Amino acid sequence: MSLPHAGRITLLCAFSLTLISQVGCNLVPRRQLSQAQLRTQQMYGQNRSMAQSQSQLAADNAQLQQQLSDANASRELLQQRLANAQGESSELKARYAGLLKNKCPLSSGATQAFEDLQRKYPDFQFDPQTGVSKLSSDLLFASGSAEITDAALPKLRDIANILNRGDSQELNLLVVGHTDDTRVVKPNTKAQHLDNWGLSTHRANAVLRALSKDGIKDKRMGSAGYGPHQPIVQNSNDANRAKNRRVEIFVLAPNASLAGWEPDLRR
């Protein structure tokens, strides 16, 4: 059956509209899908980059936390060391204050006499706080020897005269010898003094015997030798070694049984 001309035209237009509609419906979603896929890829890349950045930030944060923890531990250790040092300083101050309270057992007259002796002999040292006298071994003995030189005998005689007057006659003495860190190596010296302990002890005994000859009773005196082990300065040069070579005379109260050594206060 054939359609009229007008009907054929109408049917053709309807088919054309349908075809255009179908073509349009197929093209637009594909373009949108492509754009959506592109945005999705971009967002994925951004999210991945953000995830990596967050992971790096987390690692950096963990490292900073560890460094902070280590720093806190170091600070606590330093604070503890500072507290210990302050405690030791306080203890030393207390010990020194205690020493100062223990006044020199010498009378004022004997103290004045020792101070006059210090002015007379510049190489003679006297501490009025403790009553300790110091004489350089180099001025008392020849090198490596424990025999007192003739020039040193008058000094020891003057010391004995002071300690044999008035109330000083009741005081006791401890004579202590010290050397530097130079080892005894010369055969002649080593034959008489095995080492620095022996040399320091023999020198202390020599001073003790000299004081005994000058009238100080033997029962008032004792001797000791520390060798090189109680230096007053570091044995870093000849001048310092000369200071460490010395003989000390501790004046003790009648009831004192020992002259103590305070290494932290004396070095």
Tens digit of pLDDT for each residue in 181-225? Answer: 999 988 888 889 989 999 999 999 999 999 999 999 999 999 999
Q: Tell me the mean pLDDT in the region 119-135.
A: 90
Q: What's residue 79's pLDDT? A: 78
Domain harbouring 168, CATH code? 3.30.1330.60
Q: Tell me the mean pLDDT in the region 122-133.
A: 89
Helix axes 108-120, 153-163, angle to 10 degrees: 170
| Domain assignment of residue 267, yes or no | no
| Domain assignment of residue 155, yes or no | yes
CA dihedral (195, 197, 201, 206) positive or negative: positive
User: What is the rounded average pLDDT for all residues in the chain?
Assistant: 80
Q: What's residue 87's pLDDT? A: 66
Choice between 80 and 3, residue whose per-residue pLDDT is larger: 80
Whats the size of the chain, residue-wise?
Answer: 267
Number of C-beta neighbours around residue 83 at 10 A: 10
pLDDT at 84 over 50: yes
Same domain? 195 vs 158? yes
What's the domain range around 138? 105-257
Same domain? 16 vs 129? no
Domain count across the chain: 2
Same domain? 194 vs 234? yes
Q: What's residue 9's pLDDT? A: 47
Choice between 72 and 228, residue whose per-residue pLDDT is larger: 228
Choice between 139 and 205, residue whose per-residue pLDDT is larger: 205
Of the pLDDT bands very low, low, confident and very high (cuts 50, 70, 90), residue 40 is: confident
| Domain assignment of residue 203, yes or no | yes
Same domain? 17 vs 79? yes
Same domain? 128 vs 66? no
| Domain assignment of residue 168, yes or no | yes
